[in-house]
Amino acid sequence: MLDIKFIRDNKELVKIGAKKKHVDVDIDALLVLDDQRRAVQTSVEAKRAEQNAVSLKLPSADADLKSSLLESMKKLKVELQTEEENLKKIMKDWQTLMLRVPNIPDISVPEGENETDNKEVKIWGQKPTFSFPAGDHLELMTCLHMVDFERGAKVHGFRGYFLTGPGDKHYFAIWNYALDFFTKRGFSPIIPPVIVRKENLYGTAHLPGDVEDYYMTQDGDALAGTAEVPLMAYHSGEVLDLKNFPIKYIGFSPCFRREAGSHSKDVKGLIRVHEFYKMEQVVLCEASHETSVKFHEEINRNTEEFIESLGIPYQTVINCGADLGLGQVKKYDINLWVPKEGKYREISSASYFHDFQCRRFNIRYRDVLGKLKYAHSLNCTAIPTPRILVSMVENFQQADGSVLIPEVLKPYFGSDSIKK
RNA sequence: GGAGACGUGUCAGAGUGGUCGAAUGUACCUCUUUGCUAAAGAGGUGUGCCCUUUAAAAAGGCACCGAGGGUUCGAAUCCCUCCGUCUCCGCCA
């Protein structure tokens, strides 16, 4: 959510920002509506003021005065009700439009139509070459009994999977390693609820948007697609203490995604599934662009270093305008090398929002002068499982069909390879 | 699932139709006095929006007693719905 005053004062900037994000929203219509809103509100408030003034006199008035005052107040009430009705309608439309106004992308964000226009800013690692016919993660993991897609489909349906034996063990190894890695960097571990009230999806700016992307319960709650939602909602409505900034959480949660609209994409394997687990970095900090930028670089670097410690080749891209969410100012994606596909696949997203999310969630703090301000928020994937397995097994496969375990994972996994 | 109680400012806690943005205590800030790891006295201290201006502020108006509706000239107070908390019973990993 942007400040309406900011939109009024920076109309052109907001329009340019929306265009860069390829978001279709009528800023002029919003501003017309906003003029109406303020005019009607002023009129309503004047009538209420009159009502309040008369109410003060009424108890002490004599009978004649009383009945004449009551008469005129009844008339006023009818007028007031009409105007209030009108104001309510205006406010509803106003809110709807306000929720659709995107945050303004940073100047460093490249123009672009879709994710193919994202710009590579970094590559790391040595892509493996194989002197034997290399397998893809499906073949390898099935062969090593790490995963069972057939029974997954039988039990869950499309995109269902069981992780079995070494696959299951590998999961726990990664989680435990990641937990140690990120807590050492000052992140507090937290396990949030993933069944969340729908309003929270508006807070993170996942909504308004495609509701079809979310599983809903019969109580109208949503299954969150990321721990970002409950972790941001965690402090909603609160006034935080500046002393505690930056607040850093490493959240661990299951993630549910219906993948509506992507039925033909990645139909096999572990790249795109309906349920998975993810560790997520969430940061709340003071409202300064420089601070946001600093932490944005930091949390993205955290994930890069985590991937480097595992030894998987990756590429970092800066996302183009069209590939940014409504609230995001700037985003980096980290993509891991998938040898059999011959391309990099997304593993992580690091974004900052300025006060866009905190405004919606009403998360504030008092600055050094004691003034209330909306905090800034950021988030970045720490590690998604099982997607990470795709790159791990393909990059570390051996001629005999086994898969080597990265050095740092060995203590958590308990052996140095997965063999048939 | 059944029965009941409750939701007020930093906190505690009054208030059952008008003089209540809200008693009192507490916390915090300023001042005074005594004089010293403190007490007493006085004053002050919420948030959002609108408007006139502005560097900022300030003045004025409106709203806010869990949320949203309703009744009424007028609602913290009456009615309805929802959310939440607590207690007891039942069920249960």
Cβ of residue A218 lies below 7 Å from strand B: no
> Which CATH number fits the domain that encloses residue A232?
3.30.930.10
Please state the rounded mean pLDDT for residues A56-71. 80
Distance A11 CA to B40 C1' (A): 58
Q: Give the count of domains, chain A.
A: 2
A60 & A171 share domain: no
A135 & A88 share domain: no
Please state the rounded mean pLDDT for residues A294-307. 98
| Per-position b or e across A66-75, b if 16+ CB within 10 A of its CB | eeeeeeeeee
- Asked whether the beta carbons of A215 and A196 are under 8 A apart, the reply is no
- Which residues of A are tagged catalytic? 257, 272, 346, 349, 387
Distance A360 CA to B48 C1' (A): 14
pLDDT tens digits for A335-384?
999 999 999 999 999 999 999 999 999 999 988 888 889 999 999 999 99
* Structural tokens at position A304: 């890069």
Measured CA angle at A173 (ends A167, A179), to 5 deg: 135
Q: What percent of chain A has pLDDT over 70?
A: 100
pLDDT tens digits for A94-126?
999 999 999 999 999 999 999 999 999 999 999
Residue A372 included in any domain:
yes
Residue A110 included in any domain:
no
For strand A239-240 and strand A247-256, is the pairing parallel, antiparallel, or unpaired? unpaired
Question: 3-state DSSP call for residue A110?
Answer: coil
> Which CATH number fits the domain that encloses residue A51?
1.10.287.40
Neighbours of A10 (CB within 10 A): 15
pLDDT at A377: 96
**From residues 347-406 of A, which are strand B contacts by CB within 7 A?**
372
A94 & A122 share domain: no
Please state the rounded mean pLDDT for residues A393-409. 96
A202 & A291 share domain: yes
A185 & A42 share domain: no
pLDDT at A63: 77
Residue A109 included in any domain:
no
Cβ of residue A57 lies below 7 Å from strand B: no
Domain boundary among A74, A100, A126: A100
Query: What value does the mean pLDDT of chain A take?
Result: 93
Report H helices in A115-197.
137-143, 149-155, 165-183
A261 & A205 share domain: yes
Nearest residue to B83, CA vs C1'?
A197
Residue A287 has pLDDT above 80, yes or no: yes
Return the closest-CA partner of residue A269 out of A129, A403, A394, A400.
Answer: A394
A33 & A161 share domain: no
Q: Which residues contact A226 (CB under 8 A, 6 or more apart)?
A: A253, A255, A278, A280
Residue A105 included in any domain:
no
> Strand B nucleotides below 7 A of a protein CB?
18-19, 47-51, 61-63, 69, 73-74
Cβ of residue A95 lies below 7 Å from strand B: no
Residue A106 included in any domain:
no
pLDDT at A12: 93
A147 & A83 share domain: no
A68 & A151 share domain: no
pLDDT tens digits for A146-196?
999 999 999 999 999 999 999 999 999 999 999 999 999 999 999 999 999
Q: Indicate the pTM of the whole model.
A: 0.93
Residue A395 included in any domain:
yes
| Cα dihedral A45/A49/A51/A57 (nearest 10) | 170
pLDDT tens digits for A328-340?
999 999 999 999 9
Neighbours of A158 (CB within 10 A): 11
Domain boundary among A36, A65, A100: A100
Domain span at residue A77 reads 4-100
Residue A59 has pLDDT above 80, yes or no: no
